[in-house]
Structure 1
Amino acid sequence: MTAPSRPDRLLVLAPTRRAASETFIRANLEGLPFATTAFFGDERPLRSPWRLVYGTAILLSKLLTRLRCPWLATWPASWVTWALIHRCRPDAVLVEFGFEAVRVMEACAWTGVPLVVHFRGSDASARNRLGMLEERYRRLMRIASAVIVKSRPMADTLLDLGASADWLLISPSGANTALFEGSRPAAADPVLLAVGRFVEKKGPLHTIRSFAQLCHQSTASTPRLQLWMVGEGPLLAEAQALVQSLALTQQVRLLGVRSQVEVAALMREVRAFVQHSLVAADGDSEGSPVAVMEAQLSGLPVVATRHAGIPDVVLDGESGFLVDEGDETAMAAAMARVVNDRELAARLGDCGRRRVLAGFTVDHHLRQVSELLRKVIEASRR
């Protein structure tokens, strides 16, 4: 009898698994069809020596990066990762985020184990990362066997840094079909929902100001016209102050952090999803926002901006409305269309759901990433 072949082994390295906004890391760990071992840079449990050592090495690498010594910052975590590779004997290493990959990349160069890097957004756009890490990223592109990105603009950035077009996958993270369904925008009150961290690239202040214009123009009953915002972050206090100054405290609800299950439930109560994504002052950009895909999968129309990977997901005039970055008046007008026309909202939402089911679910993403990893592993064996 032929002995059954062992499953391919995957070592996953990521900054954290605890952040509420980083559900995609947990989805990869749960859904990729490999024998997976994962280590996280923010975990240093005393009862797990290897995790303690890895987390400490990442902490030291972060300190050296802040001291503007990116070359030295590579070595502590690379040495520990080299030891982990010898201990776990993976067939490939998958690293979440480019800035994490430059900390561990030399271990793959030393061992010959193929490295796949998953870029997400700020790691391939923000100037404070690209500027300081440009030389390190060029080295990373020479070491990496393959690269995964969220959008065409991210792909173009990494191609300029030396990534191989033949081994570059554009794959949005995708929405979870088990959670996001059942929205009925035609039956919902005129409530708009925004989900995302309160950071500049998510445009929460632009969204609030657009909603204020809508309130001033709308014929809808004022108490029923509302904006619900899920998330927290450095702009939350400024958002709270803006709501106060615009006299919107009865219409804007700041709901804090909510779980995916809670967000899915909120999407079943509202008329539309809104997000004013834009390029931040430091160059930080979105990849392809998961919340936009989740909203469309739920059956909601989306009002958003022509930014990063959003136009790949939202078809302007078919599954939602797209406006230019920074154009709050246009966003208010688009909000008004879905608030004032229930049937239009329903048609847009239905189109969005069909579009995400056709190509932007978690299953699509996991299948694409799995196929890439298998190709990388097979190529390394050859």
Structure 2
Amino acid sequence: MTDDAPRPLAERPWVAHSVIVWLPMGENWIWTQVADHRRFRPLVLTKRVENLDAFPLDDVGGELVAAYANPWRRVWAKAARSVGAPYPAWRRAIGRHRPVLLHTHFGQAGFDNLALRRRTGVPHVVSVYGADIWRWGRREDWRPRYRRMFQEVDTFVAEGSAMKRRMVELGCPERKVRVSHLGVDLHRIPFRPRQPGDGGEVRCLMAGRAIEKKGMIHGLRAFIRVAQTHPELRLTVMTWGDADYKIRLVDGLRRLAEEHEVADRIEWFGLRPYDEYLRIIRDSHVFLVPSVIAENGDAEGGAPVTAIEVSASGMPIVGFAHCDIPEVVRDGVSGFLAPERDDDGLADRLAYVVERPGDWLEMGRAGRAWIEAEYNAATSGTRLEAIYDDVLAGTTTESEHDDAT
């Protein structure tokens, strides 16, 4: 371990962050990891770029290099990959800045970067986030690749203990898996005490991509049941996705709401800019996080970052005890968790919270305090850099924080 005091930018060694796309709006939690460096400087290696105005690396002293920045680069990049070589633009950037460590985001990209790690000779850290382990890890064509990664990658970073256990089950040596919670920028998420709206209105919120593991069908069923005896209850659903199966999922949710005559009590949103998303959070009273293991094996990492953000805002949470959600939501303290896929249990807990607005402030304060302690972006950044320190020193043993989780 080294002193974690901030270093002047010019004195910081570079860390190469490999991200497939820099950066989808729904992956802002990668931005917090890159932007909250205090002792390292980020060199972002990506295939292509989107939303650069929302995630500008100039503001944090970083540099961005896109392998597909123009048609010629794309041709040379694909030719290099066809023979198992690193992207030429990445290789040149690494030659200029000589990063001390390669940090790849997502397991699939971790495998793709094994050649880059061998070419550079620098230690390789891979962060895993959900589908890359839960879904891809059970595919027969990917298991040999993961076994190879478990041998060659220096350290894996998991969001929580459930994901760590899953990686060990897949064959990763336990000493190679470190837990580092994803952090959120608390400066952008003020605490707001909740109380019912005009006429006693209580507004629930569900937010996430239109995919099975988000469990929105379970959340809607629970809402429908509770709404039958609570006319003051409303629901906001923020979900998105333009693939056919995602559109069918949302259409199914809308039909279910119409069949049970609650459609007029539900407001629907697609993906929104972050500031508008925070406004929706501020205007809501109870958050539903009914995540499940999907039929294809996909699951939360981890825990949804939305659960971290809403708890930071002081909102009580009701959900399933899925993956690492119990590490974010302390059952009976900042929210209530039912067994996974227990729709009646979820409805019972939702009704309990809706009927006790006098408890919301205490639950909200407890949630905020927990996020400040464990999921603060600044704290998470310090912990991630401590993992870098251990990797660079050749240490792979667990830290105190890993043991605590």
Displacement of 1:253:
1.0
Once the two structures are superposed, what CA deviation does each residue of 1:319-342 show, in whole Å capped at 9, x if it has no partner? Answer: 100001111111111111121111
Once the two structures are superposed, what CA deviation does each residue of 1:47-106 show, in whole Å capped at 9, x if it has no partner? Answer: x78543776688789xxxxxxxxxx87925467655543343211111110011111112
Among 11, 18, 22, the alignment partner of 2:16 is 11
Displacement of 1:198:
1.4
The answer for the alignment partner of 1:184 in structure 2 is 193
CA pair 313-139 structure 1, distance change in 2 beyond 3 A:
same
Residue 272 of structure 1 pairs with residue 278 of structure 2: no
Among 172, 186, 209, the alignment partner of 1:197 is 209
The answer for the alignment partner of 1:30 in structure 2 is 35
CA pair 17-79 structure 1, distance change in 2 beyond 3 A:
closer
* Separation (CA, whole Å) in 2 of partners of 1:49 and 1:151: 30
Letter in 2 for 1:39: L
Residue 323 of structure 1 pairs with residue 338 of structure 2: yes
Does the 8 Å CA contact 2:16/2:103 hold for their aligned counterparts? yes
* Separation (CA, whole Å) in 2 of partners of 1:208 and 1:231: 13
Letter in 2 for 1:22: E
Does the 8 Å CA contact 2:136/2:142 hold for their aligned counterparts? no
* Separation (CA, whole Å) in 2 of partners of 1:317 and 1:162: 34
* Separation (CA, whole Å) in 1 of partners of 2:180 and 2:140: 25
Does the 8 Å CA contact 2:47/2:66 hold for their aligned counterparts? no
CA pair 37-308 structure 1, distance change in 2 beyond 3 A:
same
Among 327, 347, 369, the alignment partner of 1:354 is 369
What secondary structure is seen at the aligned counterpart in 2 of 1:75?
coil
The answer for the alignment partner of 1:132 in structure 2 is 141
Residue 107 of structure 1 pairs with residue 119 of structure 2: no
* Separation (CA, whole Å) in 1 of partners of 2:143 and 2:88: 22
Does the 8 Å CA contact 1:231/1:258 hold for their aligned counterparts? no
* TM-score of the aligned structures, taking structure 2 as reference length: 0.81
Displacement of 1:290:
0.9
CA pair 373-298 structure 1, distance change in 2 beyond 3 A:
same
The answer for the alignment partner of 2:26 in structure 1 is 21
- Give the count of matched residue pairs: 361
* Separation (CA, whole Å) in 1 of partners of 2:208 and 2:79: 30
Residue 209 of structure 1 pairs with residue 221 of structure 2: yes
Letter in 2 for 1:38: V
CA pair 11-74 structure 1, distance change in 2 beyond 3 A:
farther
Alignment RMSD: 2.7
* TM-score of the aligned structures, taking structure 1 as reference length: 0.86
Deviates more, 1:287-296 or 1:120-129: 120-129
Displacement of 1:118:
0.6
Displacement of 1:15:
1.6
Letter in 2 for 1:100: A
Letter in 2 for 1:269: D
Tell me the percent identity: 23
The answer for the alignment partner of 2:6 in structure 1 is none
CA pair 165-331 structure 1, distance change in 2 beyond 3 A:
same
Deviates more, 1:9-18 or 1:117-126: 9-18
Once the two structures are superposed, what CA deviation does each residue of 1:96-144 show, in whole Å capped at 9, x if it has no partner? Answer: 1001111111221233111110101110100576432111111112221
Residue 41 of structure 1 pairs with residue 41 of structure 2: no
Displacement of 1:268:
1.8
The answer for the alignment partner of 1:153 in structure 2 is 162
CA pair 203-182 structure 1, distance change in 2 beyond 3 A:
same
Among 318, 321, 324, the alignment partner of 1:306 is 321
CA pair 122-55 structure 1, distance change in 2 beyond 3 A:
farther
Does the 8 Å CA contact 1:16/1:41 hold for their aligned counterparts? yes
Once the two structures are superposed, what CA deviation does each residue of 1:172-230 show, in whole Å capped at 9, x if it has no partner? Answer: 21222112223222344300011211110101111111111111132xxx3x4211011
Could you tell me which runs of 5 or more consecutive residues in structure 1 were left unpaired when the two chains were aligned. Answer: 62-71
Letter in 2 for 1:369: L
Among 234, 248, 259, the alignment partner of 2:262 is 248
CA pair 5-209 structure 1, distance change in 2 beyond 3 A:
closer
* Separation (CA, whole Å) in 1 of partners of 2:315 and 2:306: 11
The answer for the alignment partner of 1:64 in structure 2 is none
The answer for the alignment partner of 1:226 in structure 2 is 234
* Separation (CA, whole Å) in 2 of partners of 1:197 and 1:373: 31
* Separation (CA, whole Å) in 1 of partners of 2:124 and 2:21: 19
Does the 8 Å CA contact 1:94/1:116 hold for their aligned counterparts? yes
* Separation (CA, whole Å) in 2 of partners of 1:93 and 1:271: 41
What secondary structure is seen at the aligned counterpart in 1 of 2:11?
coil
CA pair 324-56 structure 1, distance change in 2 beyond 3 A:
farther
Deviates more, 1:123-132 or 1:310-319: 123-132
Displacement of 1:368:
1.0
* Separation (CA, whole Å) in 2 of partners of 1:58 and 1:149: 30
Letter in 2 for 1:116: V
Could you tell me which runs of 5 or more consecutive residues in structure 2 were left unpaired when the two chains were aligned. Answer: 1-8, 53-64, 396-405
